[in-house]
Amino acid sequence: MKYHPKLLLIALAGIAAFILGGDFSALADEDAYSSEEYVATAEYATFAVNNLWICIAAALVFIMHLGFATLESGLTQSKNCVNILFKNVWIISVGMLMYAFWGFNAMYPGDFNGIFAVGSWFGGDLNDAALTTAEYNAGYTWWGDFIFQAMFAATGATIVSGAVAERVKLPAFMIFAVLLVGFAYPITGSWKWGGGWLDQMGFYDFAGSSVVHAFGGFAALACVLLLGPRKGKYTKTGIRPILGHSMPLATIGVFLLFLGWFGFNGGSALSADPKAVSYVFATTALAAGAGAVASIMVSFIMLKKPDLSMALNGILAGLVGITAGADTVGEGSAIIIGLIAGALVVFAIMFFDRIKIDDPVGAISVHGVCGIWGTIAVGIFSFNSEHSLGIQILGTLAIGAFAFLFSFIVFGALKMIMGIRVSEEEEVEGLDVGEHGVPAYSEIHG
Considering only residues 111 through 170, tell me which ones interact with a copy of itself, judged by CB under 8 A: 121-124, 126, 132-133, 140-144, 146-147, 150, 170
Q: Is 226 exposed, middle or buried (0-12, 13-18, 19+ CB in 10 A)?
A: middle
* 265 scored as a contact of a copy of itself (CB under 8 A): no
* 333 scored as a contact of a copy of itself (CB under 8 A): yes
* 380 scored as a contact of a copy of itself (CB under 8 A): no
Q: Tell me, by CB under 8 A, how many residues bind a copy of itself.
A: 158
Work out how close the CB of 164 gets to a copy of itself at its nearest, in angstroms, rounded to a whole number.
16
* 388 scored as a contact of a copy of itself (CB under 8 A): no
Buried b (16+ CB within 10 A) or exposed e, 247-271: eebbbbbbebbbebbbbbbbbbbbb
Select 307 or 359, whichever has its Cβ closest to a copy of itself. Answer: 307
Q: What is the 3-state secondary structure (H, E, C) of 309-357?
A: HHHHHHHHHHHHHHHCCCCCCCHHHHHHHHHHHHHHHHHHHHHHHHCCC
Distance between CA atoms of 280 and 267, rounded to whole angstroms?
A: 9
Work out how close the CB of 234 gets to a copy of itself at its nearest, in angstroms, rounded to a whole number.
15
Q: What is the largest CA-CA distance in the chain?
A: 75
* 315 scored as a contact of a copy of itself (CB under 8 A): yes
**Options 196-204, 287-295, 359-367, 408-416: segment touching a copy of itself (CB under 8 A):** 287-295
Select 73 or 404, whichever has its Cβ closest to a copy of itself. Answer: 73
Reference 265, options 202, 182, 333, 207; nearest CA is 207
Cα-based distances in Å from 337 to 312, 316, 377: 17, 12, 7
* 412 scored as a contact of a copy of itself (CB under 8 A): no
Give the amino acid at 24: F
Select 252 or 397, whichever has its Cβ closest to a copy of itself. Answer: 252
- In degrees rounded to 5, what are phi and psi of residue 238? 125, -170
| Options 71, 75, 86, 420; binder of a copy of itself; rule CB under 8 A | 86
Footprint of a copy of itself on 165-224 (CB under 8 A): 170
| Options 297, 380, 391, 413; binder of a copy of itself; rule CB under 8 A | 297
Show the CA angle centred on residue 184, arms to residues 198 and 109, nearest 5°: 60
| Options 30, 202, 417, 423; binder of a copy of itself; rule CB under 8 A | 30
Give the amino acid at 337: I
- Number of neighbours of residue 50 by Cβ within 10 angstroms: 23
Select 293 or 369, whichever has its Cβ closest to a copy of itself. Answer: 293
| Options 175, 219, 285, 370; binder of a copy of itself; rule CB under 8 A | 285
Asked whether 318 and 310 are in contact (CB, 8 A), the reply is no
Work out how close the CB of 223 gets to a copy of itself at its nearest, in angstroms, rounded to a whole number.
19
Asked whether 369 and 291 are in contact (CB, 8 A), the reply is no
Asked whether 158 and 68 are in contact (CB, 8 A), the reply is yes
* 377 scored as a contact of a copy of itself (CB under 8 A): no
* 7 scored as a contact of a copy of itself (CB under 8 A): yes
| Options 279, 352, 373, 411; binder of a copy of itself; rule CB under 8 A | 279
| Options 115, 130, 202, 306; binder of a copy of itself; rule CB under 8 A | 306
CA atoms within 13 A on the CB side of 430: 18
**Options 82-90, 190-198, 367-375, 389-397: segment touching a copy of itself (CB under 8 A):** 82-90
* 317 scored as a contact of a copy of itself (CB under 8 A): no
- Number of neighbours of residue 243 by Cβ within 10 angstroms: 10
Element (H, E) at 239: strand 238-239
| Options 165, 181, 311, 414; binder of a copy of itself; rule CB under 8 A | 311
Select 178 or 223, whichever has its Cβ closest to a copy of itself. Answer: 178
- Number of neighbours of residue 230 by Cβ within 10 angstroms: 18
Work out how close the CB of 199 gets to a copy of itself at its nearest, in angstroms, rounded to a whole number.
18
Select 399 or 420, whichever has its Cβ closest to a copy of itself. Answer: 420
Distance between CA atoms of 70 and 395, rounded to whole angstroms?
A: 31
Work out how close the CB of 75 gets to a copy of itself at its nearest, in angstroms, rounded to a whole number.
11
Select 79 or 192, whichever has its Cβ closest to a copy of itself. Answer: 79
CA atoms within 13 A on the CB side of 304: 0
Work out how close the CB of 231 gets to a copy of itself at its nearest, in angstroms, rounded to a whole number.
7
| Options 113, 130, 135, 331; binder of a copy of itself; rule CB under 8 A | 331
Alpha helix ranges (H) inside 140-184? 142-163, 170-179
| Options 85, 168, 181, 366; binder of a copy of itself; rule CB under 8 A | 85
Q: Give residue 169's Cα distance to chain centre.
A: 21
Contact track, a copy of itself, 39-68, x by CB under 8 A: x--x-xxxxxxxxxxxxx-xxx-xx-xx--
Work out how close the CB of 115 gets to a copy of itself at its nearest, in angstroms, rounded to a whole number.
28
